[in-house]
């Protein structure tokens, strides 16, 4: 129970920032919510409870996607702004990594009950020590009033203009009822903001749920029926009556589950944060090879590479192999994949950086070397190359000439050479060999020595063929192009 002196003044709680400094624009003292929106009321109840329980500095909030995406404008707590529906998953990680924190997942009904439906069930089922505030206003607010999983039968929305028809659109999902059927949650309640008495009950539920989390009691879930006059097309002052007329029958208020008194303390493994223990846990070994750096031309001491082609052409493997090799030579490396919508047959590219010093952006926006495996890739990426860079392209599949005349061009029949070796798939290693020859970064003999590590678990035959492919690519460049 909360014990505190009776308040002599009710004022903006200290759970809020004094000035909403993260909010863009000149208005730093008002919320972005519409007149009559229930979010602000629930915000106030949470902020007040955080202050009264003295846990503002211990709290980390997940802001969802929806109107309350900007929760981080207002609360003086730690924050994560989380992808749509994923707040309970991120909250899980935050809670596990910081077991002494009070972790709040603040979500709307579109976020929680639609795209995040499984996330919330699984987090509840694991009994994560978090509190979820679930704002149910029976509609998608921010996106423009579409039907939500909680939309009422007959309710008109922009996507149910004739009213939600349960025969085709299903029934409103009663999330509190669902969650309360699980074994792990300790406190599940549905309250409402439609009048002063129910707002007081909501206030009590908010406080109880936050205390549960503070006291490591486990998963608490507070569903709050909330006004959305804008998308309900009512006047702000008519919002509360709309809840009474439409929502209370479908979403009965009350405590659905409360085993708080008997709940055992949530037990979690002690998180490990020091880097030595993390390395040990990941079985990380310090650089396996003490490779001597080669004398690399000035241009490639800061290698910025784009590999691009069809999905299935080994684009990603080429990039990963090169990044690993860079690491073996003691460079800092990054690898950033970019997939088209299709895994096979679509376009794919990746960025690789190999350099000394820290790497800022991992995307190669101005590459000094590109590997283009098909014509669209050549056309797309030659445009963004640095002057004087190296353009390696797959002349088996590309029969046009590059348009840039200020770069050094290396047409290499990569696919053809792989086919001659007996397996088209080794074209990625032909590219690796050619890259080594062009940049001078890697010694092909060393690459071969590292092969078993790069292809851990692959049969000897595959490793041998990849070795041959690397040498073929390397030798082709050395024989056909002067350095």
Partner 1 sequence: MSESRNYPFPEMNHDICKGCGLCVLACPKDVLVISEKLNSKGFHYSVYTGEGCIGCGNCFYGCPEPSAVTVYMKDYVPGEVS
**Nearer Cβ to partner 1, position 253 or 418?**
253
Q: Are 244 and 225 in contact (CB under 8 A)?
A: no
Q: Are 380 and 400 in contact (CB under 8 A)?
A: no
Instruction: Pick one of 38, 64, 127, 314: the residue that binds partner 1 (CB under 8 A).
Output: 38
Instruction: Pick one of 1, 4, 10, 26: the residue that binds partner 1 (CB under 8 A).
Output: 10
**Nearer Cβ to partner 1, position 69 or 372?**
69
**Nearer Cβ to partner 1, position 9 or 456?**
9
Q: Which two tokens stand for residue 158?
A: 């922009």
Q: Is 45 in the site for partner 1 (CB under 8 A)?
A: yes
Q: What letter would DSSP give residue 21? A: T
Question: Least Å distance between CB 199 and partner 1?
Answer: 5
Q: What letter would DSSP give residue 293? A: P
> How large is the angle between the packed helices 315-328 and 427-439, nearest 10 degrees?
40
**Nearer Cβ to partner 1, position 34 or 184?**
34
Q: Is 127 in the site for partner 1 (CB under 8 A)?
A: no
Subset of 62-101 contacting partner 1 (CB under 8 A): 74
# chain residues binding partner 1, by CB under 8 A = 36
Q: Which stretch binds partner 1 (CB under 8 A): 77-85, 191-199, 274-282, 394-402?
A: 191-199
Q: Is 39 in the site for partner 1 (CB under 8 A)?
A: yes
Phi, psi torsion values for 289, nearest 5 degrees:
-115, 135
3-class DSSP state for residue 75?
strand
Q: Is 239 in the site for partner 1 (CB under 8 A)?
A: yes
Phi, psi torsion values for 134, nearest 5 degrees:
-110, 110
**Nearer Cβ to partner 1, position 200 or 480?**
200
Residue closest to 222 by CA, chosen among 131, 140, 310, 313: 131
Instruction: Pick one of 2, 29, 83, 332: the residue that binds partner 1 (CB under 8 A).
Output: 29
How, if at all, do strands 302-310 and 220-225 pair? unpaired
> How large is the angle between the packed helices 460-480 and 414-421, nearest 10 degrees?
140
Q: Is 196 in the site for partner 1 (CB under 8 A)?
A: yes
**Nearer Cβ to partner 1, position 43 or 468?**
43
Q: Is 466 in the site for partner 1 (CB under 8 A)?
A: no
Question: Least Å distance between CB 42 and partner 1?
Answer: 9
- How far, in whole angstroms, is CA 435 from its chain's centroid? 33
Q: Which two tokens stand for residue 199?
A: 């707002």
Q: Is 30 in the site for partner 1 (CB under 8 A)?
A: yes
3-state secondary structure 380-427: HHHHHCCCCCEEEEECCCCCCCCCCCCCEEEEECHHHHHHHHCCHHHH
Q: Is 230 in the site for partner 1 (CB under 8 A)?
A: no
Subset of 200-219 contacting partner 1 (CB under 8 A): 200, 203
Q: Which stretch binds partner 1 (CB under 8 A): 31-39, 278-286, 358-366, 466-474?
A: 31-39
Give the count of alpha carbons within 13 A of 352, CB side only.
27
Q: Which stretch binds partner 1 (CB under 8 A): 33-41, 171-179, 377-385, 467-475?
A: 33-41
Residue closest to 98 by CA, chosen among 121, 73, 77: 77
Instruction: Pick one of 68, 77, 150, 199: the residue that binds partner 1 (CB under 8 A).
Output: 199
Q: Is 421 in the site for partner 1 (CB under 8 A)?
A: no
Subset of 360-389 contacting partner 1 (CB under 8 A): none
**Nearer Cβ to partner 1, position 36 or 116?**
36
CA torsion, ordered 425, 429, 432, 437, to nearest 10 deg: -120
Q: Is 40 in the site for partner 1 (CB under 8 A)?
A: yes
Instruction: Pick one of 31, 77, 157, 213: the residue that binds partner 1 (CB under 8 A).
Output: 31
Contacts of 482 (CB under 8 A, 6+ apart): none
Question: Least Å distance between CB 145 and partner 1?
Answer: 18
CA torsion, ordered 255, 53, 91, 12, to nearest 10 deg: 100
Question: Least Å distance between CB 383 and partner 1?
Answer: 48
Q: In what order do the strands lie in the sheet with 302-310?
A: 332-339, 347-355, 302-310, 369-372, 390-394, 408-412
Question: Least Å distance between CB 333 and partner 1?
Answer: 47
**Nearer Cβ to partner 1, position 31 or 313?**
31
Contacts with partner 1 by CB under 8 A lie at: 6-13, 16, 29-31, 33-41, 43-45, 47, 74, 195-196, 199-200, 203, 229, 236-237, 239-240
């Amino acid at each position: 129970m909360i014990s505190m002196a009776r308040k002599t003044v009710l004022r903006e709680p200290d759970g809020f920032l004094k000035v909403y400094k993260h909010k863009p624009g000149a208005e730093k003292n008002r919320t972005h919510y519409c007149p009559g929106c229930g979010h602000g009321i629930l915000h106030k109840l949470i902020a007040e409870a955080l202050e009264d329980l003295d846990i503002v500095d211990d709290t980390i909030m997940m802001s969802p996607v929806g109107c309350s995406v900007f929760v981080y404008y207002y609360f003086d707590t730690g924050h994560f702004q989380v992808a749509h529906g994923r707040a309970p998953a991120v909250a899980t990680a935050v809670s596990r990594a910081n077991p002494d924190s009070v972790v709040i997942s603040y979500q709307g009904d579109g976020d929680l009950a639609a795209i995040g439906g499984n996330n919330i069930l699984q987090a509840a089922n694991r009994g994560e020590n978090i509190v979820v505030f679930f704002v149910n206003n029976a509609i998608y607010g921010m996106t423009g009033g579409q039907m939500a999983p909680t939309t009422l039968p007959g309710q008109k929305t922009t996507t149910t203009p004739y009213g939600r028809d349960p025969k085709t659109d299903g029934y409103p999902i009663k999330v509190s009822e669902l969650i309360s059927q699980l074994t792990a949650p300790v406190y599940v309640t549905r309250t409402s903001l439609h009048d002063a008495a129910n707002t007081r009950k909501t206030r009590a539920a908010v406080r109880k749920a936050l205390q549960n989390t503070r006291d490591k009691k486990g998963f608490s879930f507070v569903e709050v029926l909330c006004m959305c006059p804008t998308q309900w097309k009512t006047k702000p002052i008519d919002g509360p009556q709309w809840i009474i007329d439409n929502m209370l029958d479908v979403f009965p208020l009350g405590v659905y589950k409360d085993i708080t008194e008997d709940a055992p303390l949530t037990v979690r493994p002690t998180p490990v944060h020091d880097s030595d223990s993390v390395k040990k846990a990941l079985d990380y070994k310090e650089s396996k090879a003490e490779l001597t750096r080669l004398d690399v031309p000035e241009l490639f001491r800061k290698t910025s590479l784009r590999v691009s082609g069809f999905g299935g052409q080994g684009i990603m493997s080429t990039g990963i192999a090169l990044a690993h090799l860079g690491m073996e030579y003691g460079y800092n490396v990054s690898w950033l994949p970019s997939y088209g919508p299709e895994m096979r047959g679509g376009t794919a590219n990746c960025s690789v950086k190999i350099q000394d010093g820290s790497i800022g952006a991992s995307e190669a926006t101005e590459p000094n070397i590109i590997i283009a495996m098909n014509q669209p890739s050549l056309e797309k990426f030659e445009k963004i190359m640095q002057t004087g860079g190296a353009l390696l392209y797959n002349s088996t599949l590309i029969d046009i000439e590059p348009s840039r005349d200020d770069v050094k061009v290396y047409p290499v029949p990569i696919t053809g050479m792989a086919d001659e070796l007996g397996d088209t798939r080794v074209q990625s290693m032909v590219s690796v060999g050619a890259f080594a020859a062009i940049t001078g970064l890697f010694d092909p003999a060393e690459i071969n020595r590292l092969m078993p590590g790069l292809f851990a678990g692959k049969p000897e035959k595959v490793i041998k063929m990849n070795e041959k492919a690397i040498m073929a690519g390397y030798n082709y460049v050395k024989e056909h192009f002067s350095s």
